[in-house]
Amino acid sequence: MATLTTFTDSSVRYDVADGVATIVVDRPDVLNRISPDVLRQLHDAFRQAIADDRVRGIVLGGQGKAFIVGADIDHYLRCVESRELWRIVRFTEAVHSLLDTIDRSPKRVVARLGGAALGGGFEFSLACDYLVASPAASFGFPETGLGIYPGFGGTQRASRIVGAALTKWLMFTGKTLSAAEALALGVVHQVVPNDQLESTCRAIAQGGPCPNRDQQRTPELAAMERFFATHRVDDLHAGTADCGGDAALARAMKAVAPKSLVALRLVERLIDQGSRTSLEEGLRLEVDCVIEGFSTEDAYRGLTFRAKRGLGQPVFAGR
Q: Which active-site residues does the annotation give?
A: 123, 143
CA distance 94 to 280: 15
> Number of helices (H) and strands (E), helices first, in the chain?
15, 11
Angle between helices 297-307 and 261-274 (to 10 degrees): 110
Cβ 213 vs Cβ 203: under 8 Å: no
147 phi and psi angles, rounded to 5 deg? 80, 10
Pairwise CA distance, residues 4 & 1, whole Å: 10
Phi-psi region at 119: left, alpha or beta (left = phi > 0; alpha = psi -120 to 50): left
Do 48 and 14 touch, CB atoms closer than 8 A?
yes
Q: Which of 247, 73, 250 is nearest to 145 (CA)?
A: 73
Q: At what angle do helices 85-103 and 279-288 cross, to 10 degrees?
A: 160
Type of residue at 295: S
Please measure the distance between the N-terminal and C-terminal CA atoms of the chain and give it in whole angstroms: 57
Residue 2 CB neighbours (<10 A): 8
Contact 45, 13 (CB under 8 A): no
